[in-house]
A and B are shown apart, each in its own frame.
Chain A
Amino acid sequence: MLTKLLDLLEGGQRCSLEELAKQLGTDISTVKAQIEYLVQIGILKQVTAEVPTCTGCTGCSEQNRCGLDFTPYLMWERVK
């Protein structure tokens, strides 16, 4: 299960949770549980990609977060 999940990320591959669940023949909550474990044992690392905090460049108002209002994306990457 876990090894198959990691195999799917081999060679810098990228997957969505949905795709992983499909490939592993399970559901998203199970995949999430497995990812959480892999984070716990240091094989995966959670990354939140979000609009950076204001650097005071005066390009836009602070509330406007560099012009686009993106929801932070949650990702997990393989730790080498």
Chain B
Amino acid sequence: MGVQTNITIKSPQVNKIGLHSEPLIALLGQPNAGKSTLFNGLTGSHQHVGNWPGKTVEQKEGYFIQNGKKYTVVDLPGTYSLSANSQEEVVTRDYIAEGKPDLVCVLADASQLERSLFLLADYAGITVPIILLVNMMDVAGEQGKKIDSAIISKKLGIHVVPFTASDLKGYSAFYDAVKKTLNNPCTLRADALMDFYKEMPDAPYQRLCDLMPSEGIGAYSPAWLAAKLIEGDSMVHATVSEFLKESELVEVNKLLSSVKDGSLLTGNCKFRWIDSILKGAVISTRADKPKMSRFDRVATSRTWGKPLAITIIILALIVSFIPALPLMLLGKTGMGILGTIVADALTSVGVPHILVSFLCDAIISAIGFVISMVGFVLGISFVFGFLEEIGYMARISYVFDNTMSKLGLQGKAVMPFLVSFGCTIGGAAGTRVIDTWGQRVLTIALAWAVPCSGTWAVVALVSATFFGAGAPLVIISLFATALLHMIITAKIFRNSLVKESDKTGLIMELPPYHKPKWKNLFRFLLNRLKDVFVRAFKLIVLVSVVFWMLSYTNDGDITHSIIYKIGTLIEPVTSIFGLKWRMFMAFVVSGMGKEAALGVMNTLFSVGSTVNLSDALLNGVSKAEALAFIYAFTFNIPCISALAATYEETHSLKWVLRITGYYIAAALIMSFVVYHIGLFVF
């Protein structure tokens, strides 16, 4: 969007009279090209700061004396180009067009010349003499780039000075170029760029040039004006209109009406020109690390990227069990022994049975579960945190990106899904980057299928109890099912949420591989452990206490409790899904928060039991039922807070209820299928 101000172009001579008797040098460059460093280096304390007349843009002017001669320096606002896209760009080009400076010094960043020279390409066709300062040569050197300024100078027809603005001792070449250019003004050779302009398809560049005033307008040549007209620059068009006869203006407008995507056409030419200028002038002496590039080629390949990612994820899951085992042993065996010791000690001193039961069956068992669970969270967080730290997670999301496209999702859905591995609420909030409402709802609906860290902790614990060394296989099957679940969910919901036109092309920047920052990783793990421990402790203990109260009886026989009566009443129905009443209760309560399921199991299997919890679970639940529970639990709704977050993001109660109903039904269908398959297998 252009800035609506009028351009005023006058004769250069008129403007210079009376303003500056000494040569006036303007510094022009893109933001961060080093203009201010050069300006400060040149002027020192001889500078003052104000505003450009009628603008809120800062104006900096100063002077320096070289060989007894005074030079005035103006630091022009940092601009990407000379289009009228911002106040800064308007101020800059008006100033140059009015012919105020005797010399313009264009600063380019040597470390990214392809980008920096765009401003120079936009300058081509302006008749004010210039020199090109290739700044930050030190940074380019560190990048292994060698820049031959003589080649660039020859192609551009101007002085090109390689230097580093922060090195005040290295300014002599700059002073020399300034002196030479002021004595013998040279303007930028733009013929090669104009040749590219002439080759533009469907753009009548040459005819437009011919229609422009032959001397140009102010410092703008006909070639520059014609290019800007093709770009659709309304301010240049208004200025040109004042200089043309009516018939010429009619023809210009007719020619311009046939131009489509003018900025794209001229931009193409400018980049071709930059390419031709830098060809042979910039040599990179540092090649990529061959081994790493070879790995990255495989990691991002369309064919091998996915199998590699899946293999790495499987290995990561297996490895994540290693730190979990000692804590699981401590949680299960250590707390079991502690519970027995405490129970014996309290009973021997005559503490009432209700208190002993409360302390041992509800509290100590719950703490044991929390400790075991924390181990798995530690393992999974460490492995995935490590993959993120070294830069591989971005590759995983990249290679699965086209899968998301097939699901009807935008590439931006990558982040919500990754965040959902930590917490579904974060995943729902992360969909804010997605523009269309339908896409957002679909992304949230699919993010619910991504198991959060709370899910993994419980699943790992239950599957380790029932399947021992086969637990990683159970987890891998859950990963595969989650992916399938997402595909099916997308197929069900996409037609009512997503239009084909919502699909947009996307470019993704993959971070470079790097060594992990161990300090960051361990700090993250420590925070994560603290969070999980506190949340799980609160939730598990709370649920344990509630279910202990519901299941407590004076004689210690759970069959006399309220919860047993309710449970056995519904069991004929829940058993169809492979969920006996205690596991069904755990499934229902997991909808409040995943960890809460452990609180239910802890209490319902501990109360009145004479064996430890693991044995009680193994005695009371078959492997097929355990697997059915794992599936029902994993694919149940994430938690109450996630429901609230989904409503907050979608503002649609209808869709929250629809997704909730769908997930509960899908979880029960999955448990039904898994249970009946399990009956054959186990």
Given contacts A48-B433, A68-B388, A75-B508, 12 further A-B contacts (CB under 8 A): A3-B268, A12-B506, A14-B401, A14-B411, A20-B507, A33-B112, A44-B507, A51-B419, A57-B645, A60-B527, A66-B422, A67-B419
Instruction: Say yes or no: A1-B412 contact (C-beta < 8 A), given A13-B505, A68-B421, A74-B509.
Output: no
Q: Is the pair A78, B388 in contact by a Cβ cutoff of 8 Å?
A: no
Interface check B353, CB cutoff 8 A: no
User: Which of A9, A35, A77 has its CB near the most chain B CB atoms (within 10 A)?
Assistant: A77
- Among B410-466, those with CB < 8 Å from A are 410-412, 414-415, 418-419, 421-423, 425-427, 429-430, 432-433, 452-453
Q: Which residues of A contact B641 (CB under 8 A)?
A: 57-59
Q: Which residues of A contact B271 (CB under 8 A)?
A: 1-2, 30, 33-34, 37
Q: Which residues of A contact B127 (CB under 8 A)?
A: none
Q: Is the pair A9, B419 in contact by a Cβ cutoff of 8 Å?
A: no
Q: Is the pair B524, A69 in contact by a Cβ cutoff of 8 Å?
A: yes
Interface check B393, CB cutoff 8 A: yes
Which of B4-12, B146-154, B474-482, B528-536 contacts the other chain?
B528-536
Q: Is the pair B503, A11 in contact by a Cβ cutoff of 8 Å?
A: yes
User: Which one, B114, B419, B452, B501, contacts A52 given CB within 8 A?
Assistant: B419
Q: Is the pair A68, B418 in contact by a Cβ cutoff of 8 Å?
A: yes
User: Which of B384, B405, B507, B531 has its CB near the most chain A CB atoms (within 10 A)?
Assistant: B507
Q: Which residues of B contact A8 (CB under 8 A)?
A: 505
Instruction: Say yes or no: A60-B388 contact (C-beta < 8 A), given A2-B268, A14-B507.
Output: no
Instruction: Say yes or no: A1-B80 contact (C-beta < 8 A), given A67-B423, A68-B385.
Output: no
Q: Which residues of A contact B275 (CB under 8 A)?
A: 1, 26, 30
21 pairs across A/B with beta carbons < 8 Å? A6-B505, A12-B503, A12-B504, A12-B506, A13-B506, A14-B398, A16-B507, A18-B300, A32-B114, A52-B429, A57-B645, A58-B641, A59-B425, A59-B531, A66-B427, A67-B422, A67-B426, A68-B422, A75-B506, A77-B411, A78-B504
Interface check B345, CB cutoff 8 A: no
Interface check B402, CB cutoff 8 A: yes
Q: Is the pair A71, B505 in contact by a Cβ cutoff of 8 Å?
A: no
CA distance A16 to B296 in the complex (A): 12
Q: Which residues of A contact B307 (CB under 8 A)?
A: none
- Among A30-80, those with CB < 8 Å from B are 30, 32-38, 40-41, 43-44, 47-52, 55, 57-61, 63-71, 73-80
Interface check B118, CB cutoff 8 A: yes
User: Which one, A18, A51, A77, contacts B505 given CB within 8 A?
Assistant: A77
Q: Min CB distance, A57 to chain B, in Å?
A: 5
Q: Which residues of B contact A43 (CB under 8 A)?
A: 264
Q: Is the pair B388, A51 in contact by a Cβ cutoff of 8 Å?
A: no
Q: Which residues of A contact B429 (CB under 8 A)?
A: 52, 55, 66
Q: Which residues of A contact B253 (CB under 8 A)?
A: none
User: Which of A37, A59, A64, A67 has its CB near the most chain B CB atoms (within 10 A)?
Assistant: A67
Q: Min CB distance, B201 to chain A, in Å?
A: 10
Interface check B60, CB cutoff 8 A: no
Instruction: Say yes or no: A29-B112 contact (C-beta < 8 A), given A55-B429, A68-B384.
Output: yes
Chain B residue at minimum C-beta to C-beta distance from A65: B426
Q: Is the pair B506, A52 in contact by a Cβ cutoff of 8 Å?
A: no
Q: Is the pair A73, B115 in contact by a Cβ cutoff of 8 Å?
A: no
CA distance A1 to B511 in the complex (A): 24
Interface size class of B (residues with CB under 8 A): 35 or more
CA distance A35 to B511 in the complex (A): 17
CA distance A37 to B265 in the complex (A): 12
Chain B residue at minimum C-beta to C-beta distance from A34: B271
User: Which one, B393, B506, B531, contacts A9 given CB within 8 A?
Assistant: B506
Q: Is the pair B430, A75 in contact by a Cβ cutoff of 8 Å?
A: no
Q: Which residues of A contact B425 (CB under 8 A)?
A: 55, 57, 59, 66
Q: Min CB distance, B653 to chain A, in Å?
A: 19
Q: Is the pair A60, B398 in contact by a Cβ cutoff of 8 Å?
A: no
Q: Is the pair A73, B645 in contact by a Cβ cutoff of 8 Å?
A: no
Closest 10 CB pairs of A and B: A67-B422, A9-B505, A66-B426, A12-B503, A49-B415, A68-B422, A33-B115, A52-B429, A78-B505, A41-B263
Q: Is the pair B85, A40 in contact by a Cβ cutoff of 8 Å?
A: yes
CA distance A44 to B506 in the complex (A): 9
Instruction: Report B493-535 CB contacts with A as 1/0, cut-off 8 Å.
Output: 0000000010111111111000000001000100110110001
Q: Is the pair A1, B268 in contact by a Cβ cutoff of 8 Å?
A: yes
CA distance A37 to B421 in the complex (A): 36
Q: Min CB distance, B341 to chain A, in Å?
A: 34
Q: Is the pair B264, A19 in contact by a Cβ cutoff of 8 Å?
A: no
Interface check B272, CB cutoff 8 A: yes
Q: Is the pair B527, A76 in contact by a Cβ cutoff of 8 Å?
A: no
Q: Min CB distance, B534 to chain A, in Å?
A: 9
Instruction: Say yes or no: A19-B300 contact (C-beta < 8 A), given A2-B268, A3-B264, A70-B418.
Output: yes
Interface check B394, CB cutoff 8 A: yes
Q: Is the pair A36, B115 in contact by a Cβ cutoff of 8 Å?
A: yes
Chain B residue at minimum C-beta to C-beta distance from A28: B509
Chain B residue at minimum C-beta to C-beta distance from A30: B114
User: Which one, A29, A49, A57, A61, contacts B115 given CB within 8 A?
Assistant: A29
Q: Is the pair B528, A49 in contact by a Cβ cutoff of 8 Å?
A: no
Interface check B267, CB cutoff 8 A: yes
Q: Which residues of A contact B388 (CB under 8 A)?
A: 68-71
Q: Is the pair B405, A14 in contact by a Cβ cutoff of 8 Å?
A: yes
Interface check B81, CB cutoff 8 A: yes
Q: Is the pair B414, A49 in contact by a Cβ cutoff of 8 Å?
A: yes
User: Which of A2, A30, A32, A80 has its CB near the most chain B CB atoms (within 10 A)?
Assistant: A2
CA distance A2 to B269 in the complex (A): 9
CA distance A53 to B393 in the complex (A): 20
Q: Min CB distance, A40 to chain B, in Å?
A: 6
Q: Is the pair B452, A67 in contact by a Cβ cutoff of 8 Å?
A: yes
Q: Which residues of B contact A15 (CB under 8 A)?
A: 505-508
Q: Min CB distance, A50 to chain B, in Å?
A: 7
Q: Is the pair B411, A51 in contact by a Cβ cutoff of 8 Å?
A: no
Q: Which residues of A contact B506 (CB under 8 A)?
A: 9, 12-15, 75-78
Q: Min CB distance, B428 to chain A, in Å?
A: 9
CA distance A69 to B526 in the complex (A): 12
Q: Is the pair B415, A51 in contact by a Cβ cutoff of 8 Å?
A: yes
Q: Which residues of B contact A69 (CB under 8 A)?
A: 385, 388, 520, 524
CA distance A46 to B419 in the complex (A): 20
Q: Is the pair A2, B432 in contact by a Cβ cutoff of 8 Å?
A: no
Instruction: Say yes or no: A60-B411 contact (C-beta < 8 A), given A30-B275, A52-B430.
Output: no
Q: Is the pair A51, B528 in contact by a Cβ cutoff of 8 Å?
A: no
